Each structure stands twice: as C-alpha cells, then as structure tokens.
C-alpha cells in the first residue's frame, strides 16, 4: 500500500474508533469542522484552499491530503490547489525571514565590534 492509501486508511480507522468510543470531544470537533467548511461569506472551496496553505506551513501530511481532496470535491482546479500550496510555501518562508532579522542582529553585534 502507498503512503496516501495508508494515511486514508489510518484516518478512517481512527475516525471509526473515536466514534465507537463515543468521544464527545471528537464529535464536537466534527461539528466544528462541518460549521467551518460550510459555505458562508467564503465558499467551501475557498476555505479548503486556505486549509491547504495552512497544512503546508504546519507540515501536516494527512491534512494536506484531506484538504486537497476536499477542495477538488468542492470544485477547485488543479491550478487553484497549486496556488494554495504556493501561498503555504511563501507563508512558511516568511517567518524564516523574520528569524533572519535576529540572526543578522547577532552577526552585526559579533562582527562589527
């Protein structure tokens, strides 16, 4: 079995297990998920694209797989998904540039004495 199939299988297995254990927290999470990704001022497709970018930044492979699949089901094109991934790349790189400011300050302090 491939990695994507393994992720799907494990997600489904865990989903069923949490439901069978009657997890109130998990049920509340599912309700929150339904509310979050329902069409509103932002369509579900747009929300899924946002979630893709966030998933890239937090490096959640299962999240990436799920939200890319959900975005496609909501009508997102391959190009829209790619652009959402690219936003994640930029947002992941942005904090590194902020961290680099501190590193530059350390360098300046050390080398310009």
CA distances from 74 to 40, 63, 80, 86 (A): 14, 16, 12, 19
What confidence tier does 103 reach under pLDDT thresholds 50, 70, 90?
confident
Residues 65-99 pLDDT 10s: 999 999 999 999 999 999 999 999 999 998 888 88
Alpha-carbon distance of 82 to 50, in angstroms, equals 12
How far does Cα 5 stand from its chain's mean position?
18
Alpha-carbon distance of 72 to 87, in angstroms, equals 17
Write the class of the CATH domain 42-113: mainly alpha
φ/ψ of 25, rounded to 5, equals: -65, -45
Alpha-carbon distance of 81 to 99, in angstroms, equals 28
Task: List the chain domain ranges.
Answer: 1-37, 42-113
Do residues 82 and 49 touch, judged by C-beta distance below 8 A?
no
Do residues 74 and 43 touch, judged by C-beta distance below 8 A?
yes
Give me the long-range contacts of 101-108 (CB less than 8 A, separation at least 24): none
φ/ψ of 11, rounded to 5, equals: -60, -45
Residues 1-52 pLDDT 10s: 699 999 999 999 999 999 999 999 999 999 999 999 999 999 999 999 999 9
């Amino acid at each position: 079995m491939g990695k994507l199939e393994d992720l799907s299988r494990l997600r489904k297995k865990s989903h069923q297990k949490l439901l069978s254990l009657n997890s109130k927290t998990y049920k509340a999470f599912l309700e929150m998920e339904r509310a979050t990704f329902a069409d509103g001022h932002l369509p579900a497709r747009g929300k899924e694209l946002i979630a893709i970018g966030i998933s890239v930044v937090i490096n959640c492979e299962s999240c990436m797989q799920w939200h890319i699949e959900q975005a496609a089901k909501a009508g997102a094109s391959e190009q829209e998904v790619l652009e959402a991934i690219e936003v994640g790349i930029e947002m992941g790189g942005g904090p590194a540039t902020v961290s680099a400011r501190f590193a530059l300050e350390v360098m300046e302090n050390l080398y310009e004495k």
